[in-house]
Amino acid sequence: MSNREAGKKRGRGMLANGEVKQELLQAAKTLLSMQGREGATMRAICAEVGVTPPTLYHHFGDLQGLHKAAIDETYLQVAAAYHEGTEEKGPLKGIRDGWATYLQFAYSEPNMCRLVIQQIMAGEPPSLVAETLRGLADDLRHFHSQGLLRYPPRQTAQLLWIAALGALTYAVSHVGSEENDDLLLQKATLDITLAALFNVAEM
Along the 203 residues of the chain, how does pLDDT read in single tens digits? 443 444 454 445 445 667 999 999 999 999 999 999 999 999 999 999 999 999 999 999 999 999 999 998 888 877 777 777 677 677 788 888 888 888 888 888 889 999 989 888 888 888 888 888 898 899 899 889 999 999 999 999 999 999 999 988 988 887 766 656 777 888 899 999 999 999 865 55
Q: Which segments of 12-146 does DSSP mark as H helices, in order?
A: 17-39, 42-49, 53-60, 63-89, 91-108, 110-121, 128-145
| DSSP character at residue 146 | T
Euclidean distance between CA atoms 149 and 193, whole angstroms: 12
Q: Enumerate residues 6+ apart whose C-beta is below 8 A from 36.
A: 111, 114, 115
Q: Which helix (H) or strand (E) holds 170?
A: helix 153-173
pTM for the model stands at: 0.77
Q: Residue 169 and residue 4: Cα distance in Å, rounded?
A: 39
- In whole angstroms, give the CA distance from residue 53 to residue 138: 43
